[in-house]
Every structure is written in structure tokens, then in C-alpha cells.
Amino acid sequence: MVSDFLGRGWSFPPRFDPRGKAAVMVSGVPDIDESLRILLSTAPGERVMLPDYGCALRRMVFEEVSEQTVTEIKGLIRKAVLFYEPRITLNRIDAQRVDALDGRLDILLDYTVRTTNTRHNLVYPFYLHQATHPVKA
């Protein structure tokens, strides 16, 4: 019963078993983590059959790294998870500035799986600036 609710799906990005012709499948918490990553990286309107699916994080890409921006990002994530990930209860969202010059935020999602009442977390790196800076040696 629990595994039915938590689901089973293709790994993301899709991979295939080298020994056979089957797709690699994930289930349980890894499936939830991959679902959250897909949700956060999908812009609303990208999915034809679910035009509202996704999180509008891309519109925040060139914003200044400020408390207002971080608060808005948290709100976008909270709304997306509320509507599109019914398997979890979102306990907390934290955003930590990792690299202020490159505009990287690590977004920590602390959540509880509803059917098992277990807590987990996911760190999602979000880049607020375009990746045009040369790589540091």
C-alpha cells in the first residue's frame, strides 16, 4: 500500500540498464527526490498536457541576491510543492548563499513523507546568474 502511494517511475535523467533493455526505475524517497528536482526545473507552460505544472524559478534567474528575492523563491517553491507533490508535507525551505559573486543559492527542502511519517531533505542548487564567467583554475 505504501509503495503504491509513493510511486515508481523512470530515473531522471532516463537511463537504461546495460545488461538488459529495460529503463532504470526508482521508487520510494528517491522517486520523490527526482520528482521534486523535475518540478523545480520545469517552467510553467513547458508541459503541453499540464500547462500549469512547474515552478516559476526561471523568472528569478537574473534577480539580485537579496532577502526579497530569497523570500519570493521560497514562495514559488512552496506553491509548486503544494499543488504538484501530494506525497509530502513541506516542513521548511532554507536558502543559503553559497557563492555570492556567481549568484548560487543552495535551496534546502525539509519534508515529511505523508504515508511513512519520515523526514527527509533535498538540496537543490539554483543559479541566479548566467554561467558566462571563465572557470577558475
Q: What is the pLDDT of residues 12-29, one digit of tens each?
A: 778 888 887 788 888 889
Q: How far apart are CA 135 and CA 137, in angstroms?
A: 6
According to the model, what pLDDT value does residue 40 have? 95
CA dihedral 35, 123, 45, 63 (to 10 degrees): 180
Q: What is the pLDDT of residues 26-84, one digit of tens each?
A: 888 999 999 999 999 999 999 999 999 999 999 988 888 788 989 999 999 999 999 99
pTM (predicted TM-score): 0.81
According to the model, what pLDDT value does residue 105 have? 87
Q: How far apart are CA 64 and CA 70, in angstroms?
A: 9
Least Cα distance to 87 among 116, 52, 53, 109 occurs for: 116
CA dihedral 61, 91, 85, 64 (to 10 degrees): -10
Q: How confident is the model at residue 135 (pLDDT cuts 50, 70, 90)?
A: very low
According to the model, what pLDDT value does residue 11 have? 79
Domains, the chain, ordered by start: 2-127 (3.10.450.40)
Least Cα distance to 105 among 66, 134, 136, 137 occurs for: 66
Q: Which residue has the higher pLDDT, 6 or 10?
A: 10
Parallel, antiparallel, or unpaired: how do β-strands 25-27 and 8-10 relate? antiparallel
Q: What is the pLDDT of residues 108-134, one digit of tens each?
A: 999 999 999 999 999 999 887 655 554
Q: Which residue has the higher pLDDT, 10 or 120?
A: 120
